[in-house]
């Protein structure tokens, strides 16, 4: 009687998760665990699905807990394939949690067992997961420092090169298996790995393949991802017109897919690209579009970025009133979100604009006067006019990860 009940609850959980309602699915699976079962294979399947449901719900600590239970159970009953699957899922979860070393051990176990069982599909999937862990590891270490794609410390480079190697191994198997969807995923992430390594031509080649496969499947989200990644790579190749074309396609698809956040991102990228093309009117147009969506989505950080960019573009056009308006707004928002480097950048921009407009402005604006005081204290009260030339480099270092060299 109890046995049937646990099974029934689990089957309903499965149905709900398949239908896309993970939250409701979790309730049924947890109820099934409460009822309990003596069938350890059924229990293992419930744990595994609970882990995956929590993973998709971004509740990674819970996901970790259940995938761990599944692994223990699979080992207990000597289910090797089950152990491989649990190890892979545990590895993916540990990766998201930033525990890369343990994630590597788990994904390697998934790979070893798959090879032992001569399971080609499993082997390919384990290789893809391993690539993802090394990619995340490399990106994570890279984000801790301030450098551009292509200028990487050795540990970052090693991790990214390993990621590329695993993606390529995965590609050779899934090509053999004729699994186009898996090829698409591998090309996308391989492209992004080449991008971080500074191999922008290789990145373009991989993303072009990704694009082709996305079109084959009519997968418009993947198509949009490919356009965006192609745009990024062409920026670093210095081909700004081509980049702008890809970002325009990203924007078009984002609007079709009604994804406002992605639409904002595309507008922001286009604004930056037109700045590089020195077409400031178009840059302003796109940054304003980005600003509107950022406000709509209550994305304060995005709003601050938009104001910063707009301030710069208006300065380039010599429209100092608008430039000051946005620099002040950037300062306000930086304070609000506690972005110290953004705050400093805004203050520096404001004092530059103040110099251009003459000192009369600061006398009747308390924010500007205060900004001047803070700036003087930050610079040890050195005389003005100091910041041009070498000291611009300081400004860059003060805005880590936000200001890569777009060359």
Least gap, CB of 225 to another protein (angstroms):
4
User: Of the two residues 89 and 199, which places its CB atom closer to another protein in the complex?
Assistant: 89
Cβ pair 37, 3 in contact under 8 A: yes
Cβ pair 264, 272 in contact under 8 A: no
User: Of the two residues 298 and 388, which places its CB atom closer to another protein in the complex?
Assistant: 388
Least gap, CB of 270 to another protein (angstroms):
12
Separation between Cα atoms, residue 398 and residue 396, nearest integer Å:
5
Least gap, CB of 298 to another protein (angstroms):
17
User: Of the two residues 118 and 274, which places its CB atom closer to another protein in the complex?
Assistant: 274
DSSP 186-255: HHHHHHHHHHHHT-HHHHHHHHHHHHHHHHHHT-HHHHHHHHHHHHHHHHHTT-HHHHHHHHHHHHHHHH
Least gap, CB of 271 to another protein (angstroms):
9
Cβ pair 331, 353 in contact under 8 A: no
User: Of the two residues 367 and 403, which places its CB atom closer to another protein in the complex?
Assistant: 403
Least gap, CB of 189 to another protein (angstroms):
5
Between the alpha carbon of residue 5 and those of residues 12, 31, 116, 333, 339, the distances in Å are 11, 10, 37, 55, 53
User: Of the two residues 319 and 376, which places its CB atom closer to another protein in the complex?
Assistant: 319
Least gap, CB of 388 to another protein (angstroms):
6
Please identify which residue in the block is written with the tokens 């356009």.
227
User: Of the two residues 363 and 407, which places its CB atom closer to another protein in the complex?
Assistant: 407
Q: Quick one: tokens of 347?
A: 């203050």
Q: For the beta carbon of residue 98, count every other beta carbon within 10 angstroms.
A: 11
User: Of the two residues 155 and 401, which places its CB atom closer to another protein in the complex?
Assistant: 401
User: Of the two residues 172 and 221, which places its CB atom closer to another protein in the complex?
Assistant: 221
Q: For the beta carbon of residue 298, count every other beta carbon within 10 angstroms.
A: 8
Least gap, CB of 294 to another protein (angstroms):
11
Separation between Cα atoms, residue 125 and residue 357, nearest integer Å:
61
Least gap, CB of 135 to another protein (angstroms):
8
Residue 135: strand, helix, or coil: helix
The phi-psi region of residue 83 (left if phi > 0; otherwise alpha if psi is between -120 and 50; otherwise beta) is alpha
């Amino acid at each position: 009687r109890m046995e049937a009940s646990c099974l029934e609850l689990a089957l309903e959980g499965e149905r709900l998760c398949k239908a896309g309602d993970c939250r409701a699915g979790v309730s049924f699976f947890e109820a099934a665990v409460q009822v309990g079962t003596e069938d350890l294979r059924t229990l293992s399947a419930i744990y595994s699905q609970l882990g995956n449901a929590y993973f998709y719900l971004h509740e990674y600590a819970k996901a970790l807990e259940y995938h761990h239970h599944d692994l223990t159970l699979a080992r207990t009953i000597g289910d090797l394939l089950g152990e491989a699957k649990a190890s892979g899922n545990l590895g993916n979860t540990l990766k998201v949690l930033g525990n890369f070393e343990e994630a590597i051990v788990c994904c390697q176990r998934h790979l070893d067992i798959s090879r032992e069982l001569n399971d080609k599909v499993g082997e390919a999937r384990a290789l893809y997961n391993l690539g993802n862990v090394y990619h995340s590891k490399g990106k994570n270490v890279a984000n801790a420092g301030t450098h551009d794609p292509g200028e990487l410390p050795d540990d970052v480079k090693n991790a990214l090169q390993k990621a590329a190697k695993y993606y390529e191994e995965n590609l050779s198997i899934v090509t053999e298996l004729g699994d186009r969807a898996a090829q698409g995923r591998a090309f996308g992430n391989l492209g992004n790995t080449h991008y971080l390594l500074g191999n922008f031509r290789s990145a373009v080649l991989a993303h072009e393949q990704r694009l082709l496969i996305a079109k084959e499947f009519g997968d418009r989200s993947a198509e949009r991802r490919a356009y965006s990644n192609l745009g990024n790579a062409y920026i670093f190749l210095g081909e700004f017109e081509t980049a702008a074309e890809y970002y325009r396609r990203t924007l078009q698809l984002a609007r079709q897919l009604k994804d406002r956040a992605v639409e904002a991102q595309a507008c922001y990228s286009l604004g930056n690209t037109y700045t590089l093309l020195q077409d400031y009117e178009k840059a302003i147009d796109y940054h304003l579009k980005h600003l509107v969506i950022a406000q709509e989505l209550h994305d304060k950080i995005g709003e601050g970025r938009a104001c910063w960019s707009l301030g710069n573009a208006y300065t380039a056009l010599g429209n100092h009133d608008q430039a000051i308006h946005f620099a002040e707004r950037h300062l306000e928002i930086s304070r609000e979100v506690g972005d110290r480097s953004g705050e400093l950048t805004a203050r520096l921009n404001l004092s530059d604009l103040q110099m251009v407009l003459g000192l009369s402005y600061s006398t009747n604006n308390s924010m500007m006067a205060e900004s001047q005081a803070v700036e003087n204290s930050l610079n040890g009260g050195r005389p003005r006019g100091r910041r041009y030339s070498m000291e611009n480099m300081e400004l860059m270092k003060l805005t880590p990860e936000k200001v890569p060299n777009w060359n």
